[in-house]
Amino acid sequence: MEKRVLFKGWILPLVLIAPQVLISAVFFFYPAAQAIWQSLFIPDPFGLSSKFVGLGNFEFLLGDPFYRASFVTTAVFSILVTLCSMIPALFLAVIADRLIKGSGVYRTMLIWPYAVAPAVAGVLWLFMFNTRVGVVSWYLGRLGYDWNHVLNGGEAMGLVVIASAWGRISYNFLFFFAALQSVPRSVIEAAAIDGAQFWRRFFTIVLPLITPTAFFLLVVNVVYAFFETFGVIHTITAGGPQQSTTILVYKVFSDGFVGQDLGSSSAQSVILLVVVGLLTVIQFKYIEKRVHY
């Protein structure tokens, strides 16, 4: 039976949870409440007064073709970032799990990119693909391909996806490697004795056993693609060209801090919060059914 911890009074439990409640209230609940409140108003250009419009900001956003296009851009971007960060991380974790000599060195080298901030990662990739002094763009030019992410929306999207996924591979690698280490070796050895090849053992035994970790990383990476890739996009493309890389979180910044439309920006943040919440609920409701605990 599971042993439960019982407190003699109610003061100690409140003291223990007070720091987390305070942090959540200051940095999450209060800003969320402010965003919901400001989304109901339109401030004047000088910020001296506000006019109550109710759901007018939401109606305007849903009728704006540029805002609807940012939904499609965000969906494509988040799917690509999630796949490009999880699949290579799983492959590298499998390779590192099979190494016997020098495995610690490989693991350390694979973890290093996670220490790079998203904005710094964006600058690094921007320098490599710079149309004038970039090393990668120079080699592509030698091969006959004219790289120019400043004018080509597809190339810009590919560049921000690579830059965003690159730093995330290390994070996913850590969890996948830990999950692979927890798989019982006796089960794998029994399948090998029965004649199952490596990839058959992986897809029929190992992969189902690490699905809880894969599901956790799926949720975390989707949230990362929605919220934490702002620095990469801002340093590389600033949402361009022609808003081809303007995802929802960047449009919140662009309209609120650049366009000074705080009402519309607040409404966008509320919609973004609802969208991410719905995606998380859908993932837990439908995808989690395929997870083997």
Q: Where are the domains of the chain?
A: 65-292
pLDDT tens digits, one per residue of 146-165: 999 999 999 999 999 999 99
pLDDT tens digits, one per residue of 191-249: 888 888 888 888 888 888 898 899 889 989 998 999 889 999 999 999 988 889 999 99
3-state secondary structure the chain: CCCCCCCCCCHHHHHHHHHHHHHHHHHHHHHHHHHHHHCCEEECCCCCCEEECCCHHHHHHHCCHHHHHHHHHHHHHHHHHHHHHHHHHHHHHHHHHHCCCCHHHHHHHHHHHHHCCHHHHHHHHHHHCCCCCCHHHHHHHHCCCCCCCCCCHHHHHHHHHHHHHHHHHHHHHHHHHHHHHCCCHHHHHHHHHCCCCHHHHHHHHHHHHCHHHHHHHHHHHHHHHHHCCHHHHHHHCCCCCCCCCCCHHHHHHHHHHHCCCHHHHHHHHHHHHHHHHHHHHHHHHHHHHHCCC
User: What percentage of the chain reaches a pLDDT higher than 90?
Assistant: 43
pLDDT of residue 250: 94
24-28, 46-50, 85-89: segment of lowest average pLDDT: 46-50
pLDDT tens digits, one per residue of 60-117: 998 999 999 999 999 999 999 999 999 999 998 988 887 666 667 777 787 888 888 8
Is 65-292 in CATH node 1.10.3720.10? yes
| Adjacent-strand bridge partners of 41 | 52
Assess whether pLDDT exceeds 90 at residue 288: no
For the chain, the average pLDDT equals: 87
**pTM greater than 0.75 (yes/no):** yes
